[in-house]
Amino acid sequence: MDMTPLHAAGLWSGLMILLMTVLAFRVVANRRKHRVLFGDGGVPQVTVATRAFGNAAEYVPVGIGALILLALLGYQSWAIHAVGGVLFAGRLIHGLWLSHGKGPGPARLIGMILTLTALIAAGAMLVACPFMG
């Protein structure tokens, strides 16, 4: 199947939304387990799960917006897949590492590097778009 750029943006956006849902369920599960009704209750496991979700919530919306704009501006599917794939990999690696309470480490660093690389690439592509023939 040949994907249009908008289909590609939809694919990666959908995967990131599903990842955020998994991270949100981890927050709920930890709150239930530790009987925390609001916030983190001072429980480290709840704090970590909340931050894993919060970190994704800080980066994923910007990435989804960028993917949609790139598709609407006429970038080819391969470019959308490249940005979306790198962004999703970064969020997946970072989110799963952090949500398991691993703390700072190589996977978390790799996840952030991939995330920021994808966002910088998307930003540069969006800035360059008006100047392209």
Digit-coded pLDDT (tens) for 2-45 = 889 999 999 999 999 999 999 999 999 999 999 998 888 989 89
Q: Are 87 and 118 in contact (CB under 8 A)?
A: yes
Sequence spans of domains, the chain:
5-128
The C-alpha atoms of residue 61 and residue 38 are separated, in whole angstroms, by 24
Residue among 107, 59, 95, 21 nearest 67 (CA): 59
The answer for residues whose C-beta is within 8 angstroms of residue 29's C-beta and 6 or more apart is 49
- What is the CATH code of the structural domain delimited by 5-128? 1.20.120.550
What is the reported pLDDT for 1?
62
Residue 82, number of CB atoms within 10 A of its CB? 17
The per-residue pLDDT for range 75-104, each reduced to its tens digit, is 999 999 999 999 999 999 998 877 666 667
What is the reported pLDDT for 130?
77
Compare 124 and 130 and report the one with higher pLDDT: 124
Report pTM: 0.91
What is the reported pLDDT for 99?
67
Residue 62 pLDDT exceeds 90: yes
The C-alpha atoms of residue 92 and residue 112 are separated, in whole angstroms, by 10
